[in-house]
Chain A
Amino acid sequence: MSAVAAPQASGYNFAYLDEQTKRMIRRAILKGIAIPGYQVPFASREMPMPYGWGTGGVQVTAAIIGPADVLKVIDQGSDDTTNAVSIRKFFAKTAGVATTTETKDATIIQTRHRIPERQLTEKQTIVFQVPIPEPLRFLEPRETETRKLHALADYGLMHVKLYEDISRHGHIATTYDYPVEVADRYVMNPSPTPKFDNPKMHMSPALQLFGAGREKRIYAVPPFTKVRSLDFEDHPFEVQRFDKPCALCAATNVYLDEVVLDDRGGRMFVCSDSDYCEERRADGHRGELSGEAPHLVGGAA
């Protein structure tokens, strides 16, 4: 988090945002860290990308990044999708920082919809891109009312949603953006990560920051903070399970993506975290399809 540095591309301040804006965002971040799970309003700026592409996350990253940082950007677990590539390029150009695709080397990880499989460390900060920060939004449309509900910790409504899930589907069918209670106080949207990643937020050594650009909210989970997924006593919180290990690296207990292979029903399940999968394959792990489908998914034999 260094202050002014020489602009890397002419015409831009370091990391695109001007210093005054960064100060404003840092203040919001500090407040968010001081009140875990509380949504801090901030004066979100126009960014050179459309809303929904991570304008909130980019502003948070721009406010905390320094020349010595190493940035990793993932989109749905993958480092090589459009969104991830363009945000990584954006910071390489405007801040001149080193970028990486390896979780272990990164100091800042900006993410859309996943938390890396590898355990994060105290030296790392993870920045989430959040489309809808308000967990009560689809239950209570009035912003004045949802703020009051948060202030009074009046969260019965949240359980009505889970109740409806169970009564309709026989189990809690919410699979992503699964509401959590932070530090025994605020109920928070973890952004649309699969609920598989919720347990990783609990007592995480890494600082977790959330930025919602369109909704103009920043919130945070400080390191080693209690994060509990909401549930019922007789319908406890559960994460997704997969029948098979990753088809390329044979990893179990990871979140898998389904990849359609042909038009005759062929499919395989591979790690959603592409860096984790590559690392395992480099270590010699082999899944059942790792020899057969390298050209399809870039899986090296």
Chain B
Amino acid sequence: MMAKLNDKPLLSARNLGKHYGQRLGCRDVNFDLYEGEVLAVVGESGSGKSTLLGLLATELSPTAGAVNYRMRDGETRNLFDLSEAERRFLLRTDWGFVRQDARDGLRMGVSAGGNVGERLMAVGGRHYGRIRDTASDWLNRVEIEPERIDDLPKSFSGGMRQRLQIARNLVTHPRLVFMDEPTSSLDVSVQARLLDLIRGLVSELGLAVIIVTHDLAVARLLSHRIMVMRQGRVIETGLTDQVLDDPREAYTQLLVSSVLAA
């Protein structure tokens, strides 16, 4: 099933920049993201990827520029003009955030079912049976056995924790998901399974995704478009295959060539 997509951008960044005092986080970032589109942000450590993601997810406040987002009612608004209540509502309904370390994205002392159900309860779900059914359905979709619904994430493997994080985020059918290195703490075979799962869910739900990664293979597998960052600036953007197969900038060429061939 493909979701019906809109031709106006879902999110657009305009001259977005962040300075930490004198130090540069990132600057002059411009891009549009459409529904159902996966954008990868790649670059080495310290290139400003995480700062950019923090700005887009409104966890940081920018020193310059704006991020416009088309809300569910069709109105486009600058994220930094929203009230705290509106932003939190957006964060737990229309958005998801999959963290690199599952411990930051999950409640480790709460069962898997409670983790998945939290968002449902936050938006007013008050029927235990239905919350549990939905949670169990989502565990199934991310390939966690529904019998483990009452187990704590502490007892889960790294890959399972990441899948649980994904279920927890997708349960309210968000339109935009941020992913911060979702696979980097996993071993290769588990990575492949997780990527496969994410790819399936993205196309099935028509999700827009902004994924930050230093792993070009992840970018190639998942993303439609790619943005290469270096020293806080975007130095190259384009279709993923195009950029990775035929990099224009010297730095991108270096980045592509430094990947070990298996």
Contact B88 A156 (CB under 8 A): no
**B interface residue count range (under 10 / 10 to 19 / 20 to 34 / 35 or more):** 20 to 34
At the interface with chain A, which of B27-35, B105-113, B156-164?
Answer: B105-113
The residues of B that contact A159 with a CB separation of less than 8 Å are 121, 125-126
The answer to whether B85 and A152 touch across the interface, beta carbons within 8 angstroms, is yes
Q: Which of A154, A156, A163 has the most CB of B within 10 A?
A: A163
Indicate whether A160 sits within 8 Å of B88 (C-beta atoms), given known contacts A232-B126, A232-B128, A234-B128.
Answer: no
Q: B93: shortest Cβ distance to chain A, in Å?
A: 11
B123 in the interface (beta carbon within 8 A): yes
Shortest distance between the CB of B147 and any CB in chain A (Å):
13
Flag B117-137 by CB within 8 Å of A: 1 or 0 each. 111011101111101100000
CA–CA, A154 and B85, complex, Å:
9
**Which single member of B92, B127, B131, B150 contacts A168 (CB below 8 Å)?**
B150
Q: A160-B107, A232-B126, A233-B126 are in contact. List 6 more A-B contacts (CB 8 A).
A: A152-B85, A156-B92, A156-B118, A160-B117, A164-B114, A232-B128
CA distance A265 to B107 in the complex (A): 43
Instruction: Name the contact of A160 in the complex, choosing from B84, B85, B118, B126 (C-beta under 8 A).
Output: B118
Partner of B111, one of A157, A167, A231: A167
**Chain B residues in 8 Å Cβ range of A234:** 127-129
B interface majority secondary structure: helix
With both chains docked as a complex, state the minimum distance between the C-beta of A175 and any C-beta of chain B, in angstroms: 18
Across the two chains, which residue of chain A brings its CB closest to B107?
Answer: A160
The 8 closest A-B pairs by CB, nearest first: A156-B122, A159-B121, A232-B128, A156-B121, A233-B127, A152-B85, A234-B129, A167-B150
Asked if A35 CB lies within 8 Å of chain B CBs, one says no
Q: What's the minimum C-beta distance from B196 to chain A, rounded to whole angstroms?
A: 30
Collect the chain A residues with CB atoms within 8 Å of residue B128's CB.
163, 166, 232-235
Q: Give A149-185 as 1s and 0s: 1 = Cβ < 8 Å from B's Cβ atoms.
A: 0001010110110011011100000000000000000
B111 surroundings in chain A (CB, below 8 A): 164, 167-168
